[in-house]
Amino acid sequence: MPSQVISDRYELVQRLGHGGMGDVWRGYDTVLDRQVAVKLVRQEAVASPAVAEEFARRFRREARVTARIQHPGVPQVYDAVLDASYERLYLVMELVDGVPLAYCIDPDLPLPVSWAAAVAAQVCTVLSHAHEVPVVHRDLKPGNILVANDGTVKVLDFGIAAMLRTDTTRITATGSPVGTSRYMSPEQVQGGKVTPQSDLYALGCVLHELLCGRYLFEGTEYQLMHQHLQAAPTPLRHLREDVPEALEELVLHLLRKRPERRPADTQEVYERLLPFLPPPGGTPAPDEAGPAGIPDPTNVYRRPYAPRSRPAARSASPAPTLVLPPEQPAEAPAPARLREDIKEARAHAQALLEEERFAQAAEVLDEVIEPAALALGPDSKDVLGLRMRRAAARFLGGDYRRALPEFDALADAFARTSGRASEEARSCRAQAAHCRAELGQVTVALREFEAVLQQVRAVESDVSEEAVELRRAIGFLLLSENRPAEARQVLEPLHADMCLVYGPDDEETAEIADALALIRLTGDETPRGTPGV
């Protein structure tokens, strides 16, 4: 059969796999003369021309963020295209030869402890880089983890789950649960905010399965979701006696129901796995032999291999304020020329934003902000407007770590120039809270949203657009904190208000109705009598 050609460039040579999201093919890049992997996403995802354009924008945005993960454990993204007919959506990626981790799991032959620890530790190194971007995998499971021929662990499908969300396309939307039921964190079951701690919960499910060869929970999809919310995991040593106690404790820690009660980050998990990894230069013991035909994932630890160092807490520091020097330089641009430069930079940045070239838009604004601040003053209306555009470009591009300190600094600047309760200051504080939520700082984000909402209520209606957005964000963040009863107290009156003002068929009204239905389905309360969960 003749090879199918995608975008006049990529030949589909051999189908390698078939999954819930689509098919994976071994392909050939005719331009660069190399083999590639091509992931074709199911056509149902773009079934309607009415949603195809928005879906394409979301797909490209997520693919670009995913492509920023620079780590050997993540296959590189080469291309992301929705073709002109809207019939074919595909990712072109690095082709990796290896064995899916799912093939390594056998209840009659559980993996050696060192193998399971080596796989989990390598996944930690990958997640440490992804969470720094930040990108949350959302669907970590054995089927998305591959052991390459040299023993290197590869984590596949970063961003695919996010690309295929069926929620609203607004940046701050949380939407329906995304993931695989067997590995889905409680906050995903509740439809709440997905954070790096959600990936840690899934890693706990995977590590449990590697060590005992059995799923964490069994049952129908509804039963699995209910168990993730309420059932206590079976301690590993009840299923396999030779599992070290400290490793059992780590798995139980990863599987805590509340995100904030899980390990702080992947670095902590990696460090707790170190005692179970082989020493540098060591050779495998007789009892460390794994399944036949499976590459040994401990090989990379015979030569030390660790995740990147934990980054400094940059988000805690506001962006530096631009101040005028003691003397103005003689070559400072004249105001007329400067204002023309500002006008051109705004137009250029806007054109780039419309093409979703967010990083470039921020760079264009960078070039004019400093000279504008020197000439006009750091708190001038023009300078603050340019900084707002730059922060928004970074936010839209998923660069939340750089957008956050900018929004914090802008909130302070607008508080000085327009008043702490001004619309501009409130908007910047709310955007900073959205950044913190995206970075996993959910508790702080929730507190900031509530503070801004109190300011809004003092000057506007509780059903103003600003108040509705804040109430909605609070409700979904409460869900992400596994506090469904409190979320229901926020979302039920919000739903009633939105039905009156916008109607029950409004897209956001329906979204909140779906979240409330899920809360009622899974139960309002976290179970009592399970301390530490």
| Res. 358: pLDDT tops 80 | yes
In this prediction, residue 171 carries a pLDDT of 32
| Res. 407: pLDDT tops 80 | yes
Q: How confident is the model at residue 530 (pLDDT cuts 50, 70, 90)?
A: very low
Catalytic positions: 139
**Residues 119-175: pLDDT tens digits?**
999 999 999 999 988 889 988 999 889 999 888 999 988 766 555 543 333 333 334
Mean pLDDT score across all residues of the chain: 83
Give Dmax over CA atoms of the chain in angstroms: 80
The CA distances from residue 130 to 125, 179, 313, in Å, are 9, 17, 16
**Residues 254-278: pLDDT tens digits?**
999 999 999 999 999 999 999 999 8
Share of the chain above pLDDT 70, in %: 82
Residue 15 has φ and ψ, to the nearest 5°, of -75, 125
Please state the rounded mean pLDDT for residues 212-223: 92
Please state the rounded mean pLDDT for residues 45-64: 67
Please work out, in degrees rounded to the nearest 5, the angle formed at the alpha carbon of residue 515 by the alpha carbons of 456 and 428.
30
Least confident of 21-25, 224-228, 443-447: 21-25
Q: How far is the C-alpha of 347 from the C-alpha of 261, rounded, in Å?
A: 47
* Sequence-separated (6 or more) residues with CB below 8 Å from residue 445: 433, 434, 436, 437, 477
Please work out, in degrees rounded to the nearest 5, the angle formed at the alpha carbon of residue 193 by the alpha carbons of 187 and 197.
65
Q: How far is the C-alpha of 243 from the C-alpha of 420, rounded, in Å?
A: 56
**Residues 466-491: pLDDT tens digits?**
999 999 999 999 988 888 899 999 99
The CA distances from residue 176 to 57, 179, 226, 318, in Å, are 19, 10, 16, 33
Which of 427, 504, 434 lies closest to 467, judged by CA? 427
Structure-token pair, residue 17: 């796999």
Q: How far is the C-alpha of 478 from the C-alpha of 177, rounded, in Å?
A: 15
In this prediction, residue 87 carries a pLDDT of 65
Q: How far is the C-alpha of 123 from the C-alpha of 207, rounded, in Å?
A: 10
Domains of the chain listed by start with CATH number: 4-93 (3.30.200.20), 98-281+296-302 (1.10.510.10)
State the pairing for strand pair 89-93/145-148.
unpaired
